[in-house]
Amino acid sequence: MGYPCPVTRSAAASLLACAGAVVLASASQSPPVPRSLVSLESRPLSSGVEVGAPVLALAFLPGDRLAVLTAGDLRLGRWRGGALEPLGAWPLPPGDPVRFPGGVLQAGEESVWLLRSGLPRAHLLAADEGGGLLERGQADALPWPASPTGLRYREGTNLLRGTLPGLGDGPFLAAAAGTAGSPALGVDPDGRVLVASDAGPRPAGLLRAGPALVRLGEGLWAAGSAAPPGPADTILLLAQEGDDVRLAGEVPVAGAVRALASSGVGDVAHLVAAFDSPTGATLVAFEVRRSAP
Amino acid sequence: MKRPSPRVLLPAALLAALAAPSPAALGPRYGGELRVAVSELPSSLAPTAAPGAARRLALRLVHETLASLDPDGQPGPGLAEATALGASEREWTLTLREHARFHDGAPVTAADVVRSLRAFARGPGAAAARLARRLDGGPAYRAEETDHLPGVAALDERRVVLRLAAPLPGLFAVLASPAAAITGVSGAGAGAFVPTLLVPGQRLAVTAFADHVRGRPYLDGVQVLAFADREAIVGEAEARRVGLAAGEAGFEAEVASLLLVLDPARPPFDRREARAAVVGAIDRPLLVGRLVPGGTPAPELLVPSILPPRPPAPEPGPASAPRLAGEVTLAVSRDVPPPVSQRVLAHLQALGLRVRTRPTSPAVASEAPADVRLLAYAPEAPEPAVAIEELLALAPLPPARVQAVRDRLDAADGEIEPERRLAVLAEAHDLLLEELTLVGLGHMPVRYGGRGLVHGARVAGTGALVLEDAWVEP
């Protein structure tokens, strides 16, 4: 069991060195972005799991199962005790070369849609009782909630295109579907965070993010930062305030954040981040919760 | 020499990928356009061995070769994804990537490779000469005594066989020469960018090629703009009208050698004493050490990454320098830093010579009619034997000296052990120096820099700026 401890930018070299952390809403970007009044706590739940390949996307399935998309395969494992127990894998078909591919996973109860740039179609995979992955179908585009077109990758890039309600036609670096209580969010190719609205996409102030974005719960999101080149990165915790979305916290990590997944339990979200490491990628789990005012 | 094993290209590429630094979360970023300021642009985009960093940048944008070289000079895949060495160790089979395409949409076929390599083998340049000399039937074909070239043949749509009459170390560096680019029947290239506009000598615009063999480049487009003088290039960079400018600090590699070429057929340099006087008057620590940012004073003609230096041979000292008389022309390549050319001019004048200076395009500076030529030399291919062949063509030498250098090159090709090969090549290098017609001043970086929002660019061993992995911050 870890204990919360303050994290400041100066002590942010590696989250792994800290047993636990309270994430403070801090103005770390230039120019400063508006801060949220929402207070979030986070603490690491694991010390890091090496994947051995760059991770393009993550998604939780019921039963603490985690789908991990790499450039070459989709892996399914059970996230237990800070470790990933392998359950199965499905090799992706060969595709066109992409210098820096992107990937999207859209998980259901017992299945997951996957899309990877360089592949011409989206694939639907189902987990069998033994944990193996079987292909159940294909589509021209990845189905996306309330989207008439679904999502495709712009040829040869990690940029998504498709008509997303309230966000327009893209292109997008990342998107998070909306719910009854939360608007959809998107990230444009320049890293600007966009908030869906009936009038179309609105910039979330000066917030900028990278290609990893996930909804943590009602009105809460996590995103990789739009940091300049460097060996470290920051997970941005975003919170809705009225019609606006603001920065509510930052979690430093020891590599560029490439993918995020979350599973919510009441007011507590479990967040798994994949960040670049010398051997491919490292997975680290966090617990994120609203703290008392 | 340790020969590359079959399928050597792929492991090399994998190692290079593993060694790549971790990029930022937002990058590499697809999109955006980059403007680059250079000193000159070619009038044509046809593959050529002509020197000049800007010319090579233009060709590198548009064209693709069978093999590529990583920043350390190790071979990697290009249009060919795999190679296999036959049992005779003289026969290489190159397999083209399945989806390789030209800019016009046509697939890259073995027939295109054969046609392109046949043209290359008869073309100018040291790499072409070196390949033709070793190919089965190559010498007669290059001399246009026959059109039959059995050393290059298509096995099927995707496989090409190269048959060598003798070993050719550095074969993949030769195949990575810009002059060895593979083009389609219509002349289309297969590089990472498609040319959309070429105003000869002034402006080149290219756009991303989605079907490039290593994937679409990050940039949507690149504009290369030529400016007549150094001040204009600096002004463009300072005004932030360009993202990268030639000569500015940023992306750089020490790949160029500053060379003086003295013509022994012209007085006063027909006398060895006169050449020795120039050599003795050169103050390398001042010329290169202080006047060239990042420069390294050195008498060697090649940078250490191509041929490791050996203990220098003694040179004539300043005390033995006699007074010279007469008028000489000094052709200065425009990519030589102006303080260097001004100092060389001063050195020659201090010896008593009247000097007429003639600024010259880097593309033709090596052939400019002049008594003295001052060059910033980067090899056509970063391979020592290719470079020595180039230098051999650069300086007029007595036939016996030429033959002696060629004998060393042949001997080096027969060496299996890499260290011994390099030692023999170093002997050939030293033979080039002994006539005092080629004078090494030092080594300098080829550099491109700007406002710091560009990532992923690099300078190749040929001096070419490589932009296929470059991206810009929003």
In this prediction the ipTM stands at 0.81
Name the residue facing B26 among A154, A156, A226 (closest C-beta): A226
Strands B33-38, B244-246: pairing kind: parallel
Name the residue facing A229 among B24, B214, B218 (closest C-beta): B24
In a domain, A29, yes or no: yes
| Beta carbons of A229 and B214 less than 8 Å apart | no
Please state, as a whole number, how many other Cβ atoms lie within 10 Å of the Cβ of residue B63.
25
In a domain, A270, yes or no: yes
In a domain, A99, yes or no: no
Residues of B in contact with A14 (CB under 8 A): none
Question: Nearest C-alpha of chain A: how many angstroms from B109?
Answer: 18
Residues of A in contact with B30 (CB under 8 A): 100, 154, 157-159, 189
Name the residue facing A159 among B30, B469, B473 (closest C-beta): B30
Question: Nearest C-alpha of chain A: how many angstroms from B322?
Answer: 57
pLDDT for A32 equals 60
Closest-CA residue of B relative to A234 is: B25
In a domain, A91, yes or no: no
What is the rounded CA–CA span in Å between residue B64 and residue B176? 8
| Beta carbons of A159 and B31 less than 8 Å apart | yes
Residue A232 — pLDDT band, cuts 50, 70, 90? confident
| Beta carbons of A156 and B210 less than 8 Å apart | yes
CA torsion through residues B137, B138, B141, B145, sign: negative
In a domain, A245, yes or no: yes
Residues A118-165 have pLDDT tens digits of 999 999 999 887 778 999 999 999 999 999 999 999 999 999 999 999
Mean pLDDT of A94-109: 94
Among B472, B25, B220, B22, which Cα is nearest to A173's? B25
What is the rounded CA–CA span in Å between residue B147 and residue B137? 10
In a domain, A220, yes or no: yes
Closest-CA residue of B relative to A187 is: B26
Closest-CA residue of B relative to A96 is: B215
Closest-CA residue of B relative to A279 is: B18
Binding-site residues on chain A for chain B (CB distance < 8 A)? 96-100, 118, 154-159, 173, 189-191, 208-212, 224-231, 233, 255-258, 276-278
Mean pLDDT of A257-263: 94
Helices (H), B282-336: 284
Mean pLDDT of A103-122: 96
Question: What's the total number of domains in chain A?
Answer: 1
CB proximity B418 to A under 8 Å: no
Q: Which domain covers residue A243, as residue numbers?
A: 9-78+173-290
Q: Which residues of chain B have pLDDT under 50?
A: 1-24
* Secondary structure (DSSP) of chain A: -----B--GGG-S-GGGSS-BBPP----SSSPPPBPS--EEEEE--S-EE-SS-EEEEEEETTTEEEEEESSEEEEEEEETTEEEEEEEEEPPP----SS--EEEEE-SSEEEEEETT-SSEEEEEE-TTS-EEEEEEESSB--TT-SS-BEEPTTSS-EES-BTTTBT--BSEEE---SSS--EEE-TT-EEEE--TT--EEEEEEEEEEEEEEEETTEEEEEE-PPSSS-EEEEEEEEETTEEEEEEEEEESS-EEEEEEEEETTEEEEEEEEEETTEEEEEEEEEEEPP-
Residue B406 amino acid letter: R
In a domain, A191, yes or no: yes
Cα–Cα distances (Å) from A54 to B18, B81, B182, in that order, read 11, 22, 33
Residue A253 amino acid letter: V
Task: Please say whether the beta carbons of B217 and B208 come within 8 A.
Answer: yes
How many beta-carbon pairs below 8 A join chains A and B?
84
Q: Is pLDDT of A30 > 70?
A: no
Task: Please say whether the beta carbons of B227 and B233 come within 8 A.
Answer: yes
Name the residue facing B29 among A189, A256, A276 (closest C-beta): A189
CB proximity B311 to A under 8 Å: no
pLDDT for A82 equals 81
Name the residue facing B25 among A97, A156, A257 (closest C-beta): A257
Residues A57-73 have pLDDT tens digits of 999 999 899 999 999 99
CB proximity B210 to A under 8 Å: yes
Please state, as a whole number, how many other Cβ atoms lie within 10 Å of the Cβ of residue B319.
6
Chain B residues 214-233 within an 8 A CB cutoff of chain A: 214-218
Report all structural domains of chain B as residue ranges with CATH numbers, in order of start: 29-193+447-472 (3.40.190.10), 251-445 (3.10.105.10)
pLDDT for B53 equals 86
CB proximity B470 to A under 8 Å: no
What is the rounded CA–CA span in Å between residue B179 and residue A184? 52
Residue A229 — pLDDT band, cuts 50, 70, 90? low
CB proximity B30 to A under 8 Å: yes
Residues A46-55 have pLDDT tens digits of 778 999 999 9
| Beta carbons of A100 and B26 less than 8 Å apart | no
CA torsion through residues A254, A260, A264, A267, sign: positive
Place of tokens 């100018």: B124
In a domain, A100, yes or no: no
Residues of B in contact with A173 (CB under 8 A): 26
Residues of B in contact with A211 (CB under 8 A): 25-26
Please state, as a whole number, how many other Cβ atoms lie within 10 Å of the Cβ of residue A42.
25
| Beta carbons of B25 and A97 less than 8 Å apart | no
pLDDT for B2 equals 39
CB proximity B473 to A under 8 Å: yes
Question: Nearest C-alpha of chain B: how many angstroms from A31?
Answer: 14
| Beta carbons of B23 and A276 less than 8 Å apart | yes
| Beta carbons of A212 and B213 less than 8 Å apart | no
At a CB cut-off of 8 Å and minimum separation 6, what does B239 contact?
Answer: none
Task: Compute CA B214 distance to the chain's CA centroid, rounded to the nearest angstrom.
Answer: 22
Q: Is pLDDT of A31 > 70?
A: no
Place of tokens 């940078």: B303
What is the rounded CA–CA span in Å between residue B158 and residue B174? 20
